[in-house]
Structure 1
Amino acid sequence: MRFTLLFFLIFFAFCDAFASSIFDKIPDEINPNAKYIFYSHGYIVEGENPTPVHPSLGMYDYPAILEKLTDFGAVVISEHRKAKSSPTEHAEKLKNQVSSLLEMGVPQRNITLIGFSRGGYITALASNAIQKTDINYVILAACTTSLSRDEDIVLTGHVLSIHESSDSVGSCHKVVKRNPKAVSSFKEIEISTGLEHGAFYRPIEAWISPIKSWLETHVSSVPYRPQRSSIIELEESATGRIYPIYVQLPRTYSTSPNKKYPVIYTTDAPYSFPTLVGATRNPMYSGVMEEAIIVSVAYSTDSRGVQSRVRDYTPVKADSWKLETGNADIHIEFFNTDIFPFIESKYRTDTNSRIFIGHSLGGLLGAYILFEYPDTFSSYILGSPSVWFNDNYLLQMTPQKTTSVSKVYLSVGSLETPEFGERENMVKGSNMLAEKISTQSDGNVEIKYVVVDGATHATVFPTIAIQGLDWILGKGERQ
């Protein structure tokens, strides 16, 4: 089994392991919620010496600048360029590293490129190549050199320009005016230290403080993710497909180190995960519902969502369907071979309390697991299951016997019928499925069947999920 950790716990906004780290390239492990700063030094530092001395401007303290930038609470990435390096080649390196961070889930707003003099020119080249609206760029004393003469360079994203009044290198306004619409925001600051170009040779507050303040206050979008949440990628051993797995830990997880928690497993993570995280918050926080870990399985990365769910949630091949069907057995094997071992080795779980939640085709998958592999989960919440699939194939199955008690919460919206716009009569299918579970399953299956009044197929899932969980994990008497 191979997995790639994409998101560490979001509760820890900036992982301490990265807080004071300096790298010459992006690190092997990426925390998408950390800040990343790429610093490109001036021309004088190219070569072997990180602290060269200019005859009139003094020492360029490259290591001290990098160390100071870590005070921003960021992972600092800076390559000590060789002598006579190509600015274009280095800008391309920056572009590729930024692209890698974005692919691994780092928001644009968490990425900042800072460059001084020749490094500022390189930063501008990278900005022109990256073409992202919410990345931050800081140009230090670079805009009235070759950057001002190269009309092909267009700055993009959020741009901060800082120059020294006693320096011959000045404003970036001319560069920005080439295409002002490409810049999401622009701010320029002139400092007056009397140090000429050497003002940026050392990490003095005159330019360090404005950068820090700008990064903290300038307008950019802020994506929201739930606390204590993470997303990992797991490889399905049987096929090599990669599936993102969303995980939400209970509020007391870190403060109750000896406690083991039930695990709620759901299909269709992009919509089921945020629904469940929000819906369970109050009942779990207030103590009326037992706390649980939520694990939601998304769609394979090599497929569109509809292709993945139709393929993986259907039990048999249906010749009448244009999309691939019938991969449910392999997907169930994925749970047993890859997902359960990973979750149960990484987190403190109650292995006797696995709860399945699926809606529509996900409900079909859950019912199929209940009939064919009933002990996979201890409880099932089946929302509006697609009983109609392949001429009611599900109803032709003979349920296997269970070795322990299973609770099944089956529910459907009262408006899930052709009369109210549904192609299939989901209410009729659910009625027949409830009857089959009640009469053909062994005595170890306890079923509760509920029709949600006034709910359609599109609106019923949140009600089914929270009411089902209340029946299974609720504390006290439940009717």
Structure 2
Amino acid sequence: MINHTSVYSMPGTCFFDLAPAAGGEPYRIFLSIPAQRPPAGGWPLLVMTDGNATFPFAVASLVTQAPYPTGTNVGWGVIAAIGYPSDEPYDPLRRSWDLGPPPVKSYPPFVEGGPPVVIGGTGKLLDFIDNELIPRIAEMVILDPMRRSLFGHSFGGLFTLYALFERPGLFANWIAASPTIYWENSEILKNEAQRQEAPGNAPFLHLSAG
């Protein structure tokens, strides 16, 4: 019989809430920083969407594989996952707005009597990452600006593609896991057709399905 339980937390992790300077509700930033001394060029940075859901998996994968780089080809780095001030894995309404590309559109509520579902805020989230999140983390830990990666799954994968097409120099690596390319009759392909040219080296894009 268990007589006493304690709240579990993942060692080496923390979170803080950060509101956009332009106004609006804060994001909850889940952060993992290696205990080791950073390399001369700074740590690589992985930014993730859907932080409440994805952060635990990413940290668990890192701490179990990074100690054995010759076998896993995984090294230490900083993980910053963008979530919301909630204990739930997702905030469906905010997630729809943040990760659903423009133009702004409204859809029926998720549940009867609920508020409408609105998409189109990806540009604002991208500005937040570029102008506020990355600089804030860079104040806390030394980062390598040439080794930044963005990960998103499903709607987060769609956001990753949108961000790549709009601001290809922001990250070196882009991981779009099962992106909802079909959304709104594959409207994201219009963004791809008008994509910005990447400065310097071509970005790396990893696409997966399933």
TM range (shorter): 0.7 to 0.9
Q: Per-residue deviation at 1:318?
A: 2.5
Q: Which residue of 2 aligns with 1:241?
A: 25
Q: Which residue of 2 aligns with 1:305?
A: 91
Match of 1:278 among 60, 64, 68: 60
Q: Distance in 1 between matches of 2:51 and 2:127?
A: 18
Q: Which residue of 2 aligns with 1:77?
A: none
Q: Which residue of 1 aligns with 2:143?
A: 349
Q: Which residue of 1 aligns with 2:209?
A: 412
Runs (4 or more) in structure 1 with deviation over 4 Å come to: 256-259
TM-score, length basis structure 2: 0.85
Match of 1:401 among 191, 197, 201: 197
Identity of aligned residues (%): 23
Q: Which residue of 2 aligns with 1:169?
A: none
Change (3 A) 1:320 1:240: closer
Q: Does 1:295 align with 2:91?
A: no
Letter of the structure 1 residue corresponding to residue 197 of structure 2: K
Query: Contact 1:233 / 1:242 at 8 angstroms: preserved in 2?
Result: yes
1:17-416 matches, within 5 Å, as: 219-253=3-37, 256=38, 260-287=42-69, 288-299=73-84, 305-316=91-102, 317-321=104-108, 322-397=116-191, 398-404=194-200, 405-413=202-210
SS in structure 2 of the partner of residue 374 of structure 1: coil
Letter of the structure 1 residue corresponding to residue 12 of structure 2: R
Q: Per-residue deviation at 1:243?
A: 1.0
Query: Contact 1:261 / 1:349 at 8 angstroms: preserved in 2?
Result: yes
Q: Distance in 1 between matches of 2:167 and 2:85?
A: 23
Q: Distance in 1 between matches of 2:146 and 2:203?
A: 11
Query: Contact 1:238 / 1:330 at 8 angstroms: preserved in 2?
Result: no
Q: Distance in 2 between matches of 1:257 and 1:406?
A: 22
Q: Which residue of 2 aligns with 1:130?
A: none
TM-score, length basis structure 1: 0.38
Deviations 1:7-30 (Å, cap 9, x if unpaired)? Answer: xxxxxxxxxxxxxxxxxxxxxxxx
Change (3 A) 1:389 1:229: same
Q: Distance in 1 between matches of 2:148 and 2:34?
A: 15
SS in structure 1 of the partner of residue 186 of structure 2: helix
The number of aligned residues is 193
Change (3 A) 1:318 1:240: closer
Change (3 A) 1:306 1:220: same
Q: Distance in 2 between matches of 1:381 and 1:336?
A: 17
Change (3 A) 1:374 1:257: closer
Q: Per-residue deviation at 1:392?
A: 1.1
Gaps of 5+ in 1: 1-217, 414-479
Q: Distance in 2 between matches of 1:300 and 1:408?
A: 30
Q: Distance in 2 between matches of 1:242 and 1:269?
A: 13
Deviations 1:319-374 (Å, cap 9, x if unpaired)? Answer: 44530210110111111121011001111111221100000010000000011111
Q: Distance in 2 between matches of 1:325 and 1:239?
A: 18
Query: Contact 1:241 / 1:300 at 8 angstroms: preserved in 2?
Result: no
Q: Distance in 2 between matches of 1:389 and 1:307?
A: 17
Q: Distance in 2 between matches of 1:358 and 1:291?
A: 20
**RMSD, aligned α-carbons:** 2.0
- Report the structure, 1 or 2, having the larger helix content: 1
Gaps of 5+ in 2: 109-115
Q: Distance in 1 between matches of 2:203 and 2:40?
A: 26
